[in-house]
Copies of this chain bind each other. A is one copy, B any other.
Amino acid sequence: MSERATAASPVTPLQQRSREADRPTSQLALFGPDQPLRLDCGVDLSPFQIAYQTYGQLNPERSNAILVCHALTGDQHVANVHPLTGKPGWWETLVGPGKPIDTARYFVICSNVVGSCMGSTGPSSANPATGKVWGLDFPVITIPDMVRAQAMLVDRLGIGTLLAVVGGSMGGMQVLQWASAYPDRVFSALPIACATRHSAHNIAFHEVGRQAVMADPDWRQGRYFEHDVRPQRGLGVARMAAHITYLSDAALHRKFGRRLQDRQNPTFSFDADFEVESYLRHQGSSFVERFDANSYLYLTRAMDYFDLAADHGGVLATAFRGTRTRFCVVSFTSDWLFPTPDSRSIVHALNAGGARVSFAEIETDKGHDAFLLDVPEFFDIARAFLDSAAAARGLGRTGTAA
């Protein structure tokens, strides 16, 4: 697995990824020693940087900005070609000209979360104190830490109140954290397929993924950068296990059933006989090309730690008390990672806090991943909710004040 570059050799995918961690193909906001990021673990992270993408134009009133928060293995490349994979942006279904998050009308921002590996400071960034890659010396971060960094970015962009904060899964957790920590800066909030805290079940799946990474001898106690190796096999297994949780039983059955791969009869071997096996193997191997193993540990940990009620004396409604933010909470019927009861408990807390909230449970067999897929009913709801928020904030059809 060792990849060494000589002066003459072309740039390897691994080198490209390492470069992306420090010098990303994105806009960069640098925060110097005068602006440390206060982390929940007690550390002041400084200096640090946030990599972000924007789409559309900020209007003169600075009232049409929508912040998109990405999920665990997502990044800031919402609606442009990904610099490593060459694939379309991860939410081009939802974000773009004429799309529900209409970039002809709204100014859309998405930043790579702190702790990730696509240009915002994280465990694969260089530690300025040592000049070496942070690795496990990077402090453990939380969802509130990610949101605090995003708020500093939004300040830097000169935006007071966001028209909307939108995200699914870990992105949805950030939406909830935004609404709770900065109620006056969030005009509307669209948390999708998420929860105010991670369940024992979900912590368990994350722990399996972390153990798979840490069981790989190439992980080297997190110091793989120093040894010029990567725990590719362990991270691949982690991704495979996680990927199953993103799909529903029905979706897997519909996509693959028990169909055999390129043959009529079983091979009586451990080759990928069934299509679902080769699909999963591909998910694992393509993921390790674009993602850092230590970031996977840090971000799963951040999700595990998230518990909005615990941060508010054990009463979830307190997290949203008196809020004027408009909420739309969305769940999907076949999502077993963040099932509808999780979303209902958000709605109940919002109701108890006196918030203005609508709730949509969308019928689909696509599982947790539905928020990333082509689900017209979800698109209609997102569009209508944002239209209504824009109208309430006095925005015309073109994104300028009406």
Q: Which residues of A contact B (CB under 8 A)?
A: 40-42, 136, 139-140, 197-201, 203-205, 207-208, 210-212, 214-217, 233-234, 236-237, 240-241, 244, 249, 252-253, 255-258, 266, 268-270, 272-274, 276-277, 280-281, 284, 297, 301, 304-305, 307, 310, 336, 339
Contacts and interface: CB of A to CB of B under 8 A. Distances in A.
A274 B201 CA distance: 11
B237 A212 contact: yes
A210 B276 contact: no
**Oligomeric state, in number of copies?**
2
A284 B203 CA distance: 16
A211 B252 contact: no
A252 B204 contact: yes
Contacts of A269: 140
Contacts of A297: 270
B201 A252 contact: yes
Nearest to A136: B270
A201 B268 contact: no
A203 B233 contact: no
Contacts of A281: 207, 211
- Of the listed residues A198, A201, A204, the one surrounded by the most CB atoms of chain B closer than 10 A to its CB is A204
5 contacts: A136-B270, A201-B244, A208-B280, A211-B240, A212-B212
Contact of A207 (B203, B208, B216, B240): B240
A237 B240 contact: no
A298 to B, nearest CB: 9
Nearest to A202: B249
Contacts of A211: 236-237, 240, 280-281, 284
Contacts of A255: 200
A113 B304 CA distance: 39
A244 B284 contact: no
Contact of A258 (B40, B272, B307, B339): B307
B237 A207 contact: no
Contacts of A258: 197-200, 203, 307, 310
Given A200-B252, A200-B257, A207-B240, 14 more contacts: A136-B270, A197-B258, A200-B256, A200-B274, A201-B253, A204-B244, A204-B277, A205-B244, A207-B280, A208-B241, A208-B244, A210-B270, A211-B240, A336-B336
A205 B245 CA distance: 10
Contacts of A274: 200, 203, 207, 304
A82 to B, nearest CB: 25
Contacts of A217: 217
A215 B268 CA distance: 20
A384 B70 CA distance: 55
A212 B216 CA distance: 10
B139 A252 contact: no
Contacts of A256: 200
Contacts of A210: 270
A314 B338 CA distance: 36
A28 to B, nearest CB: 27
